[in-house]
Amino acid sequence: MRVPGELKDRSSVAIVINERKPMRTYHIPTIVLLTALVVIASLLNSCSDLKSVQDLPTASSGALQVHDAGWLDTAASNFHGTILKQAQYNLSECATCHSKQFTGGTSGVACSKCHQYYPHPAGFSASTSHPQYLYNQNYPLGQCKACHGATYAGGGNANLSCMKSGCHVDANNVSKSPEACNACHGNFKAAANDLPSAAPPKDILGNTATTARGVGAHQIHLVSGAVGKTVKCQECHTIPTQLSSPGHLGTLPAEVVFNDTLARLTTGGGTSVPKPSYDPSTLKCSNTFCHGNWKVRKATSTSQFVFADSVMVGANDSPAWTGGSAAATCGTCHGIPPKGHLALAVSSCGTCHVGVVDNNGHIVDKTKHGNGKINVFGQEYAF
């Protein structure tokens, strides 16, 4: 006979059942017993965290009430919005039952049942998650205003400003609206009124690599003027007058419309009329004056001696938007020299095109290159 509580060995606990029949000994593995005790303790602890015993519903109610009465009553002192505000909107306790994404969790109740876009899911404020989430929801900024106020500076249900340090402010800590052009794409830290800064890198999905279609050659065209005329957003896109303007928000990719008169510049005495286009599948621009769809007739030129034919023409290149620097090297938009031009060495380019290129073929004045004019001997002429 074993004494109750006596260990049979180190791996099990002996439990003796005292019956009139011969005593039987049952052995339960220690690890199983310990695990059971941990689970029971955890459950008891969780229940005590959620609700004190005296506040739990009676058995006849048939449901477990976690929150106090008034939790959903906007006029009550313990309205959950008021409690969260006092807690600086720390939602970690809410996530315990409703899950980190607030989709239900162990409670089975999703916060989105009442709040379509709030609470924000975990990682919402991250530089990549934030724009992706807003894009997926088609930019529900009207819902944001319900909590952050009509101007996002506070008010509404949360009275919490989006435009505070660490959030929607520029590099000088000056507040900027979430509706600023460069808030969703471009340089987020630039001032709200710095329109050229709205050009990626950083597209609306947070990409910064020029191999991403939302980034591509934006900087080369709109900001740096790397090889020629600096263009403006409205020359390739229809600029919305407000956030909700038709065509502004929606499915990617962005529409390319070629409003630019330079891309459509008629040359050759009316014989060359470009019809620019952009193929969203190949990411290529075609038939633009900018990339070599032009003609110059010898008969109307002021420098007929340089012609090797009756017409000089560009290369009419179709560069890939994500082609990088290789898509804009000298000779891609026009030959060196152009077709129909006398065969001359690169070292002599600067002799005639004074102030535009040097005698090594390098551009010295970007404003005079690709600007829709013929610059020769220090003078500008129409094509």
Mean pLDDT of 4-31: 46
Q: Which domain holds residue 93?
A: 72-120
Query: Within this chain, do residues 149 and 191 fall inside the same structural domain, yes or no?
Result: yes
Q: Does the pLDDT of residue 19 top 60, yes or no?
A: no
Using alpha carbons, list the distances in angstroms from residue 203 to 211, 216, 248, 292.
Answer: 12, 10, 14, 28
Spatial contact of 56 and 62, defined as CB atoms under 8 Å apart: no
Q: Does the pLDDT of residue 298 top 90, yes or no?
A: yes
Instruction: Please say which residue of 180, 214, 238 terminates a domain.
Output: 238
- For residue 39, what is the enclosing H or E element? helix 30-50
pLDDT at 205: 85
**Phi, psi of 182, deg, nearest 5:** -85, 10
Query: Within this chain, do residues 283 and 217 fall inside the same structural domain, yes or no?
Result: no
Instruction: Give a yes or no: residue 320 inside a domain.
Output: yes
Using a pLDDT cut of 90, give the percent of the chain over it.
32
Spatial contact of 368 and 349, defined as CB atoms under 8 Å apart: no
| 3-state SS string for 77-141 | CCCHHHHHHHCCCCCHHHHHHHCCCCCCHHHCCCHHHCCCCCCCCCCCCCCCHHHHHHHHCCCCH
Q: Does the pLDDT of residue 257 top 70, yes or no?
A: yes
pLDDT at 174: 93
Spatial contact of 355 and 365, defined as CB atoms under 8 Å apart: yes
Query: Within this chain, do residues 130 and 165 fall inside the same structural domain, yes or no?
Result: yes
Using a pLDDT cut of 70, give the percent of the chain over it.
79
Query: Within this chain, do residues 216 and 131 fall inside the same structural domain, yes or no?
Result: yes
pLDDT at 362: 84
Whole-angstrom distance, CA of residue 258 vs CA of residue 250: 20
- For residue 279, list its beta bridge partners: 284
Instruction: Give a yes or no: residue 58 inside a domain.
Output: no
Query: Within this chain, do residues 2 and 91 fall inside the same structural domain, yes or no?
Result: no
Instruction: Give a yes or no: residue 199 inside a domain.
Output: yes
Query: Within this chain, do residues 296 and 228 fall inside the same structural domain, yes or no?
Result: no
Query: Within this chain, do residues 92 and 145 fall inside the same structural domain, yes or no?
Result: no
pLDDT-based confidence at 18, cuts 50/70/90? very low
- For residue 41, what is the enclosing H or E element? helix 30-50
Instruction: Please say which residue of 57, 90, 120 terminates a domain.
Output: 120
Instruction: Give a yes or no: residue 359 inside a domain.
Output: yes
> How many structural domains are present in the chain?
4
pLDDT at 316: 96
Query: Within this chain, do residues 112 and 200 fall inside the same structural domain, yes or no?
Result: no
Quote the distance between the C-alpha of residue 168 and its chain's center. 15
Query: Within this chain, do residues 113 and 160 fall inside the same structural domain, yes or no?
Result: no
Instruction: Give a yes or no: residue 260 inside a domain.
Output: no
- For residue 350, what is the enclosing H or E element? helix 349-352
Query: Within this chain, do residues 163 and 189 fall inside the same structural domain, yes or no?
Result: yes
Query: Within this chain, do residues 145 and 225 fall inside the same structural domain, yes or no?
Result: yes
pLDDT in tens, 137-159: 888 888 788 778 888 888 766 67
First-to-last C-alpha distance (Å) of the chain: 114
**Phi, psi of 351, deg, nearest 5:** -65, -40
pLDDT at 62: 46
Mean pLDDT of 360-377: 88
Instruction: Give a yes or no: residue 43 inside a domain.
Output: no
Instruction: Give a yes or no: residue 259 inside a domain.
Output: no
Whole-angstrom distance, CA of residue 268 vs CA of residue 338: 15
Tell me the residue type at 330: C
* Average pLDDT score over the chain: 80
Tell me the residue type at 359: N
Query: Within this chain, do residues 128 and 223 fall inside the same structural domain, yes or no?
Result: yes
Using alpha carbons, list the distances in angstroms from residue 86 to 17, 77, 281.
Answer: 56, 12, 51
pLDDT at 192: 93
Spatial contact of 346 and 330, defined as CB atoms under 8 Å apart: no
Lowest mean pLDDT among 128-142, 301-315, 358-372: 128-142
Instruction: Give a yes or no: residue 191 inside a domain.
Output: yes
pLDDT in tens, 29-60: 555 555 555 544 444 444 434 443 333 333 33
Tokens of 295: 């003609």
Instruction: Please say which residue of 238, 264, 285 terminates a domain.
Output: 238
Mean pLDDT of 198-219: 91
